Amino acid sequence: MSKNIKHLVVDTTAFIKAASLQDIAENVYTVQEVIDEITNDRQRRKLVVLPYDLIVKDVFTENIKFVTDFSKKTGDYRSLSATDIKVIALTYQLEKEKVGTDHLKTEPTTQKVVKVTGLANYNSNGNSADDSEKINQETGEPSEKTDGETGEVNTVDKIVPQTDNIASNEDNGNDDEEMEAEEIAEQIKNMDIKEENVDEIIVKVNEEEEQSESEEDSDSDSDGGDWITPGNVAEKKKEMELGDFEDKSVEVACTTSDFAMQNVLKQIGLNVTSVDGRIIKHLRTFIFRCTTCFKTTSVMTKVFCPKCGHSTLKKVGVSIDDDGVQHIHINGRKPLTARGKKFSLPTPRGGQHFQYPILTEDQHIHKRFATKLARNKTNAMDPDYTAGFSPFAARDVNSKSAVLGVRANKQDLKYWMKNCYKGKKK
């Protein structure tokens, strides 16, 4: 089997499904975070005895920053984890090293519906000037050009004969309908069948002819296609999916089943493959739709609706047809839920570590600053100072914030959906 991909970046899905990547790629790459996500013992044993060489490569910071900014513009940033961003960044890094960046995009492409108005020889009603003149001539409406009394008389003369013709046509149409009704009634009267003529009309048909006719009908009903059996299910499924996949040779590609990752990769211009090595062609785009005011926004980093201000934004799919019209696809199988709405808002309390629920976009957030004791401990010029990643670094485990699990700049945006009066498990 020919290997269509020269450099393939692999996500966790390929290792979980135990895909035969040695048949579709020459070199297989991944990041360390992907290997760390595999925690199952059976999958780890398979990871040790892979039939190909797995290259673990580091990603440059500039590539991670580019992918992060790009995913925010496409609206997939909130659906991506840190590992997903690193996998995309590694694909971008290999594409930049092996192929180049001339064919890659720095901004996601957006299509908008443009309503064309104010063109020459174009009316707001959708008819051109020539069409309006034709309509005036056919219907006999008076034109704008009139010469005093003679013009008025001429227009009336034009209208009257046409109305006479219309009336005569209506009369002729009614007469024709009456004639057809009379003819049909006479034919029905002549169709009276007497008991003596029944045997002459009914003809006996042989049983052999009936069987041959039934066989012909059954043959005509069958479409001539093959039946789907357990043996050819995989082949039929691939035939049905040929509209979304294609087989071609590429230099660098990434295999993943995450829709958000696929969308970002395709928007950048990178190649995306399925687990079996076929290139994915089509894109999926998402926007936010407010369930309160039904307004949409493409800024996927928002939590509150920019129109009504409520936190009722839901992620919906979007597609654009050939005319450039945007269509929103709402998942009806996922109904709206009122989970957490029955709990009242917590009573405001003082203290340094109390988390107030964020209810509006312009709400003032209580800032937490390091204490004087903590600032004294963080002395980078101290010869005994150890960095934060050192195994000998001193970590705070006794303070109130450490006991409560408070993390700076990580507010719980959906604090109001939890029962604040529920006691902790002991």
- Span 125-133, mean pLDDT? 44
Query: In the predicted model, is pLDDT for residue 93 greater than 90?
Result: yes
DSSP assignment of 222-273 equals S-SPPPP-TTSHHHHHHHHTTTTEE---EEEEEE---HHHHHHHHHHT--EE
**Phi and psi angles of residue 107, each rounded to the nearest 5 degrees, phi first:** -135, 140
Q: How far is CA 364 from CA 194, 311, 352, 357, 359, in A?
A: 96, 17, 15, 11, 10
Residues 6+ apart with CB under 8 A from 248: 4, 279
Q: How far is CA 81 from CA 84, 261, 350, 422, in A?
A: 5, 10, 34, 30
Rounded Cα–Cα distance for residues 67 and 83 (Å): 12
Q: How far is CA 366 from CA 266, 321, 360, 419, in A?
A: 40, 46, 14, 22
Contact 289, 314 (CB under 8 A): yes
Query: In the predicted model, is pLDDT for residue 290 greater than 90?
Result: yes
Statement to judge: residues 30 and 99 lie in one domain: yes
Statement to judge: residues 303 and 348 lie in one domain: no
Contact 283, 111 (CB under 8 A): no
Rounded Cα–Cα distance for residues 144 and 22 (Å): 80
Tokens describing residue 264: 């970002």
**Range of 168-182, 342-356, 390-404 with top mean pLDDT:** 342-356
Statement to judge: residues 395 and 420 lie in one domain: yes
Question: For 254-263, how does the pLDDT look when each residue is reduced to its tens digit (9 = 90+)?
Answer: 998 887 888 8
In the annotated binding site, the residues are: 290, 293, 305, 308
Question: For the purposes of burial, counting CB atoms within 10 Å of the CB of 52, is it exposed (0-12), middle (13-18) or buried (19 or more)?
Answer: middle
Rounded Cα–Cα distance for residues 16 and 394 (Å): 37
- Establish if 196 belongs to a structural domain: no
- Establish if 369 belongs to a structural domain: yes
Statement to judge: residues 12 and 104 lie in one domain: yes
Query: In the predicted model, is pLDDT for residue 277 greater than 80?
Result: no
Statement to judge: residues 274 and 310 lie in one domain: no
In the annotated binding site for Zn(2+), the residues are: 290, 293, 305, 308
Statement to judge: residues 307 and 386 lie in one domain: no
Statement to judge: residues 407 and 365 lie in one domain: yes
Residue 377: pLDDT band (50, 70, 90) is low
* Segments forming the whole domain that contains residue 378: 339-426
In the chain, the amino acid numbered 400 is: K
Statement to judge: residues 314 and 347 lie in one domain: no
Average pLDDT, the chain: 70
Strand order in 5-10's β-sheet? 54-56, 25-30, 5-10, 250-255, 272-273, 279-280, 245-246
Rounded Cα–Cα distance for residues 304 and 176 (Å): 68
Contact 45, 26 (CB under 8 A): no
Contact 317, 285 (CB under 8 A): yes
- Span 358-381, mean pLDDT? 74
Tokens describing residue 276: 């079996």
- Tell me the longest C-alpha to C-alpha distance in the chain: 125
Contact 293, 308 (CB under 8 A): yes
Domain closes at, from 329, 361, 389: 329
Statement to judge: residues 395 and 317 lie in one domain: no
Query: In the predicted model, is pLDDT for residue 376 greater than 90?
Result: no
Domain count, the chain: 3
- Span 239-260, mean pLDDT? 69
Statement to judge: residues 345 and 373 lie in one domain: yes
- Establish if 216 belongs to a structural domain: no
Query: In the predicted model, is pLDDT for residue 89 greater than 90?
Result: yes
pLDDT the model gives residue 207: 53
- Establish if 232 belongs to a structural domain: no
Query: In the predicted model, is pLDDT for residue 345 greater than 50?
Result: yes
pTM of the shown model: 0.48
Tokens describing residue 305: 């609706």
- Establish if 173 belongs to a structural domain: no
Statement to judge: residues 16 and 106 lie in one domain: yes
- Establish if 26 belongs to a structural domain: yes
Statement to judge: residues 98 and 19 lie in one domain: yes
Higher pLDDT, 338 or 51: 51
Contact 326, 318 (CB under 8 A): yes
- Establish if 64 belongs to a structural domain: yes
What letter would DSSP give residue 32?
H
Higher pLDDT, 323 or 57: 57
Question: For 184-228, how does the pLDDT look when each residue is reduced to its tens digit (9 = 90+)?
Answer: 666 655 555 555 554 554 445 455 555 555 555 544 444 445 677
- Establish if 375 belongs to a structural domain: yes
Rounded Cα–Cα distance for residues 86 and 83 (Å): 5
Rounded Cα–Cα distance for residues 357 and 311 (Å): 12
Residue 110: pLDDT band (50, 70, 90) is low
